[in-house]
Amino acid sequence: MSNASLGNLRILDLSRILAGPSCTQMLGDLGADIIKIERKGVGDDTRTWGPPFVTPKEGRATESAYYLAANRNKRSVEIDFNDTADLARLLALMETADVVVENFKTGALKKYGLDYSQLAERLPRLVWCSITGFGQTGPNAHRPGYDLLAQGFGGLMSITGEAGGEPMKVGVGITDLCTGLHASVAILAALRHRDATGEGQLIDLALADVQMAMLANQGTNYLTSGTSPTRAGNQHPNIVPYQVFEVRDGHVIVAVGNDEQYKRFCGLIGRPDLAEDPRFVTNPLRIENRQQIVSLIAKTLLDITRDDLLKGMEEKGIPGGPINTVGEALESDQARARGMKIEMAQEYAQSGSVSLIGNPIRMSRTPVTYRFAPPKLGTDTPLAFWADAQPSKI
């Protein structure tokens, strides 16, 4: 048995783009055998979502940086869904698998005989994770799902952006990524149940559901008050001061989390009077008088340099930090120390390797592993691969 956490699992990945692939990459990093099933001649949509693309040794570039983000530790098999022989081979692979992850539109797999309802009796131990925009039920079940649509439908865009400005999406596919994480958790829970009872089950995940669940305190703020939150830029709805401030030579994050930190912060910026002002002594009062206190702090910070403020906050135990570019973050000493930038050998790349973002999980007994770089389309399709299919080890 493998010493990887999930080294005895086989997962068929019939998903594409980001939510499903990020889930299966996570499980692959933890040791699972991930077989990425791709439509013949087309493959995952994100393979062509560039530039930038990996510079190839020869020919034209076919693998985008976007595709690289969620497809390591997988083998790629091309399938012609209109070919009965290929469908038979895929079904044979399903019989060896522990988990199937797919993000076809609701009901789309039925015409191929590959819907969970058609296979549950034949494959009773199989865990089937379906990821769609709006789930298998409800009035919107038929609608396609993309991250941007989920951010809009689920309320996130209404609270993201500057006050009075245009509704704004988050800079990455945050709903897709969080759906992938929810899918990972659900799959592991379903496998725990399967191991105890022998019963597989259907997992029904919707991007829109996940987005609404992600509203967290903003969602319960509405449920408690009956008033929908609105866009407030970088300000926090429940804490003051907790936002971005302009300083003499740039911008800094100030994340004061309690009244004691607030007192220390006022002393640091040379305004101890603000800690004693009866309008601002507690967080609820600062929220009530947000405009006044934020204006006073903002005016004061324009005379302080970025480095001086950050150094002083660190010395006094006041939460705060810089606003890095993506490059500054990934090239930082912290990122290097934590293994957040990795290189994986890949023969199709001109450089012989591809640069990827590392997995953030650190485990003392069964660490994540990086075994396969994101594969070219159909790398593992040859018939020899199909012969390698073995029944599940569980």
The CA distance from 275 to 267, in Å, is 8
Return the closest-CA partner of residue 83 out of 389, 381, 368, 362.
Answer: 381
Return the closest-CA partner of residue 34 out of 78, 98, 88, 80.
Answer: 98
The answer to whether 185 and 24 have CB atoms below 8 angstroms apart is no
Q: Which residue has the tokens 């926090």?
A: 236
Side-chain half-sphere exposure of 200, counting CA atoms within 13 A:
21
Q: Which residue has the tokens 């149940």?
A: 193
- As given in the structure block, the two tokens for residue 68 are 């690289």
Beta strands 320-321 and 127-132: pairing type?
unpaired
Write out the H or E segment, with its range, that includes residue 37.
strand 33-39
- As given in the structure block, the two tokens for residue 70 are 């969620």
Check residue 111 and report its DSSP letter.
Answer: G
Query: Catalytic: which of 86, 176, 204, 209?
Result: 176
- As given in the structure block, the two tokens for residue 341 are 């930038």
Side-chain half-sphere exposure of 331, counting CA atoms within 13 A:
5
Q: Compute CA distances 13 → 90, 128, 199, 331, 377, whole Å.
A: 11, 10, 20, 32, 14
- As given in the structure block, the two tokens for residue 303 are 């005379």
* Residue 33, beta-bridge partner list: 10
Task: Look up 176 and say whether it is catalytic.
Answer: yes
The CA distance from 320 to 311, in Å, is 10
The answer to whether 297 and 229 have CB atoms below 8 angstroms apart is no
- As given in the structure block, the two tokens for residue 106 are 């609701």
DSSP symbols for 147-202: HHHHHHHTTGGGGSSSTTS-----SS-HHHHHHHHHHHHHHHHHHHHHHHHS---E
Using DSSP's 3-state secondary structure scheme, residue 311 falls into helix
Beta strands 242-247 and 250-255: pairing type?
antiparallel
Residues belonging to the active site: 176
